[in-house]
Chain A
Amino acid sequence: QSTFETGFGGLGGESDEPIEIESDELEVRDQEGLAIFIGNVVVVQGESRMKTAQLTVHYDTENQETEDAAPAAQGPGGSQQISKLVATGGVVVTTKEQTATGNTGTVDMKTNMLELDGDVTLTQGQNVVNGNKLIVNLDTGHARVLSDSRVRVLLVPNSANQN
């Protein structure tokens, strides 16, 4: 088991640019708290882009929040919390400087971690890192590529400008 640590940055800080999501279909299953984008899913914001075959958004609806029942029943627009995003059927995340690919991807909103699984590659310029798993801490932008066997790192000297 070996890991490769890097930053998954280069995307800039705060942004209030809108997020665009396109797909062939969208299915909302409210009682199950699911919004499923199906077919050629592209999520774009600024220079960042994610492409996948299917993106499932899991959100908690009021009735699922059992612990402290919300005092007044909130209106339909009540605050639903998104708990998880799952991308399947191949995932490509491209930013201004880096590209990450994997078979599946999940974003856990509770722990703020992004994970790509299954022949993962992380590319910056000519530098390519391969592994089985990429884990990014959404808060810090800190990324780790893990591999069962050996992480293969191809660093082409003085190709990427060190930012």
Chain B
Amino acid sequence: MTTTDMRFLEHDADAEAEDRIRARASARRHTRFVKTLRVLLPLGGMAIVALIFGTAIVKSFLPVGVGTLNVTSEGLEMNDPNLAGRLNDGRAYKVSAARAMQSFSDTSRITLTDLVATLKASEDQDITVNSRGGLFDTDDEWLTLSDGIVLTTTDGYRADLSSARLDFRNGSMVSDEPVAIGSEKFDLTANSLDVQEEGKVVRFVGDVHLTLHRGPETSSQ
């Protein structure tokens, strides 16, 4: 007897055939609410949330390519700087910005404008982070992103934050402003976000609201 699998996710023909037979067979009323508990599957997609935030933490910034370089009164200005590298687990990342300014007064601080970071999460999954503002401290290895951050993944997840602080040393990312995550399967909003241990623990705090979309069975995530 096959165990009752997650029919919601199974999409091969005999599973659907089996569904139709089961649906016809169960004459008695199903409880819509309890029945839908089985369809809490998109929640399984929560793992993607952990992954999004876990891998979005770029381990190390090694300036590689710097576009035009000019010296201004405040500091060293680099136009369309970009850098690429590999995280220590080998995944490739690329970070570029419209402008980066390293101030003379504190050379460990680099202000970034229109930052774009992409990270290869797995063969078929890239994560892209766009942020209008950024301040990167090369000594203490943290990066604050501000003025609107959008994070997207190839398979259609999108996260919108207004600000975030990434601490590369302890692998954390914190945002104490509202966060919204959306995908074909679910929408999640909360007042703040706290990612610890590089995504092992992802906490949403304050007015958490998750909407699981139902409707026609879409292909697996």
Considering only residues 1-52 of chain B, those with a C-beta below 8 Å from chain A are 3-6, 9, 22, 26, 28-41, 43-52
Q: Which of A7, A78, A82, A93 touches B41 (beta carbons < 8 Å)?
A: A82
Minimum CB–CB distance from B11 to chain A (whole Å) comes to 10
> Which of A46, A79, A85 is the most central at the interface, judged by chain B CB atoms within 10 Å of its CB?
A79
| B217 nearest in chain A by CB position | A16
Contacts of A45 in B (CB 8 A): 32-33, 36
B122 adjacent to A26 (CB under 8 Å): no
Q: Contacts A11-B31, A75-B122, A111-B4 known; A18 to B214 CB distance under 8 Å?
A: yes
B213 part of interface (Cβ distance < 8 Å): yes
Contacts of B45 in A (CB 8 A): 77, 80
CB contact under 8 A between A15 and B37, given known A24-B206, A24-B208: no
**Please, which residue of chain A has its CB at the minimum distance from the CB of B11?**
A79
Minimum CB–CB distance from A19 to chain B (whole Å) comes to: 4
The reply on B199 being an interface residue by CB < 8 A is yes
**A73 lies within 8 A of B210 (CB):** no
Size of the chain A interface, CB-CB below 8 angstroms: 61
List residues of chain B with CB within 8 A of the CB of A141: 28-31, 34
Q: Which residues of B contact A (CB under 8 A)?
A: 3-6, 9, 22, 26, 28-41, 43-52, 54, 121-125, 153-155, 157, 188, 190, 199-216, 220-221
- Listed A/B pairs (18) with beta-carbon separation below 8 Å: A8-B34, A10-B29, A11-B31, A16-B215, A20-B209, A21-B211, A27-B201, A27-B203, A28-B201, A30-B202, A35-B46, A57-B43, A59-B46, A75-B123, A75-B155, A81-B44, A112-B4, A139-B4
Given A9-B31, A59-B43, A136-B34, 4 other A-B residues pairs in contact with their CB atoms under 8 A: A22-B208, A28-B203, A35-B43, A81-B9
